[in-house]
Structure formats: structure tokens, C-alpha cells
Chains A and B, each alone.
Chain A
Amino acid sequence: SQTIHQWPATLVQPVGSPLSLECTVEGTSNPNLYWYRQAAGRGLQLLFYSVGIGQISSEVPQNLSASRPQDRQFILSSKKLLLSDSGFYLCAWTGGGGTIYEQYFGPGTRLTVT
């Protein structure tokens, strides 16, 4: 069966510090991968998605970036965090190939920028 992992589960970082969040998927190949952010009491905001290694599409211009160095690994990064980057970061995957599939979400990372 497929599983999706995210780490760390929680993170407290000072303003201006770098960020690296990691997401890995097991039990599937060539998935579409997604990064979302959810502010407190708000909906999900799509940040990035990837249909393959090295292929990243950005939905929201900001100080975040994403990379996909391996088929089942998706990384969210920042060189300098802002207070507004605080939130709940979720990674998700769905089947590749353009077929309509439901998305499966990881457990999330709670980021607090102080």
C-alpha cells in the first residue's frame, strides 16, 4: 500500500532563517506531488506541484521554492523565512498520467516563524 511521510512534524524557526521540509512517498511510482499551505482557520493554498523529477510548477510567487530530486521525494525550501510563512504545510500525491485521481495527504508540518 502507498504511504506518504513528512518531516519534521513541527518546527519553530526565527525570521530570516532557512527552511527545508521533506516529503516522501512509498508504494507508488511517478506520482504527481503537491505542496499546500493552510493558514489557521483557512483553506488549502496550492504552492507547488510536480509531475516528474526536476519538473516544478509554482502557483504562488513568494520566497518559497520546491525541488524534486527523486521520483518520490519532494522538498520545500526557503532561504529566508518571513512571519507570514507560518502555517500548516501539507504534501500530497496523486497518480500520474493525467487520469483523475483523488489526492492523498501527508500528516503535515506545523511551522511557526517567530
Chain B
Amino acid sequence: SQKIEQNSEALNIQEGKTATLTCNYTNYSPAYLQWYRQDPGRGPVFLLLIRENEKEKRKERLKVTFDTTLKQSLFHITASQPADSATYLCAPSGSARQLTFGSGTQLTVLP
């Protein structure tokens, strides 16, 4: 069955450093992959989408890579700030109609 693993449940880093979150998937080949941010008690918010034929995508301080050979996506936040503290969810998908979400990584940026 399809499985999505996000590197760790919690990640603490110092302000100003680069946070790197990992999303690994098995038993399917997604055509694209999305990353979302979720704050406590709120719905997820879309951040970035990367397609299988794209190796890297950037948006401001965010960068996403997608390696279909390794079946892995990396999500980077450069110059991290305490306001970046949240849970980040990855969602690899082969279907435009459905997304399957990982359980998320809770990032805490320490001042």
C-alpha cells in the first residue's frame, strides 16, 4: 500500500539557520507533490507544488526538491524565523482529484 514518511515528528532549529524537512514515499509514483503549512487549530495552507519533471522550485525563502528516483522530496526554509514554527505536511499525488498527506513534521524555530 502507499506510504508517506516525513523525517521526524519534531524538528528544532536555531533562528537564522536553514530547516530541512524530508518526505519519503513508497509504492507509488506521484506526478506531483505539494507542501502545506498547518498552524495549531487551523486548516493547512498551501505553500508549493512541484511536478515530477521539475527538480527544484523556489518561493521566497522556501525551496522544494523532488527526486523521483529516490522517491523523496526535501523542503528547505532558509534564514528561518520563529514565525516559521508550524507543522509542515507533504502530499505526493498522482491524481488531480485526491491528495494523500503525510503525518507532518512539527518545526520549532528557537529565537
Do these two chains really belong together in a complex?
Answer: yes
CA distance A46 to B26 in the complex (A): 19
Number of A-B contacts (CB under 8 A): 48
Residues of chain B with a CB closer than 8 A to A103's CB: 34, 44, 46, 99
CA distance A112 to B103 in the complex (A): 21
Total contacting residues, chain B, CB less than 8 A: 21
Contact indicator per residue, chain A 89-103, by CB within 8 Å of chain B (1) or not (0): 010100000111111
CA distance A100 to B48 in the complex (A): 13
* Cβ-defined contact, B97 with A98, below 8 A: yes
* Cβ-defined contact, B46 with A98, below 8 A: no
Question: Which residues of A from 77 to 114 have beta carbons under 8 Å from B?
Answer: 88, 90, 92, 98-108, 110
| Closest partner residue, chain B, to A10 (CB atom) | B41
Q: Per a CB cutoff under 8 Å, which of A44, A49, A59 touches B101?
A: A44
* Cβ-defined contact, A43 with B89, below 8 A: yes
* Cβ-defined contact, B43 with A108, below 8 A: yes
Q: Per a CB cutoff under 8 Å, which of B34, B98, B104 touches A46?
A: B98
Residues of chain A with a CB closer than 8 A to B46's CB: 102-104
Residues of chain A with a CB closer than 8 A to B104's CB: 43
**A49-B97, A51-B97, A98-B97 are known contacts; what are 14 more A-B pairs with Cβ within 8 Å?**
A43-B103, A46-B98, A46-B100, A49-B98, A88-B41, A100-B49, A102-B34, A102-B49, A103-B34, A103-B44, A105-B43, A105-B44, A105-B45, A106-B43
21 contacts between A and B (CB under 8 A): A43-B101, A43-B103, A43-B104, A44-B101, A46-B98, A49-B97, A49-B98, A90-B43, A98-B96, A100-B32, A102-B49, A103-B34, A103-B44, A103-B46, A104-B46, A105-B43, A105-B44, A105-B45, A107-B42, A107-B43, A108-B43
Interface residues of chain B, those whose CB is within 8 Å of chain A, are 31-32, 34, 41-46, 49, 51, 89, 96-104
Interface residues of chain A, those whose CB is within 8 Å of chain B, are 32, 42-44, 46, 49, 51, 59, 88, 90, 92, 98-108, 110
Q: Which 7 A-B pairs have the closest CB atoms?
A: A105-B43, A43-B103, A102-B46, A44-B101, A100-B96, A98-B96, A90-B43
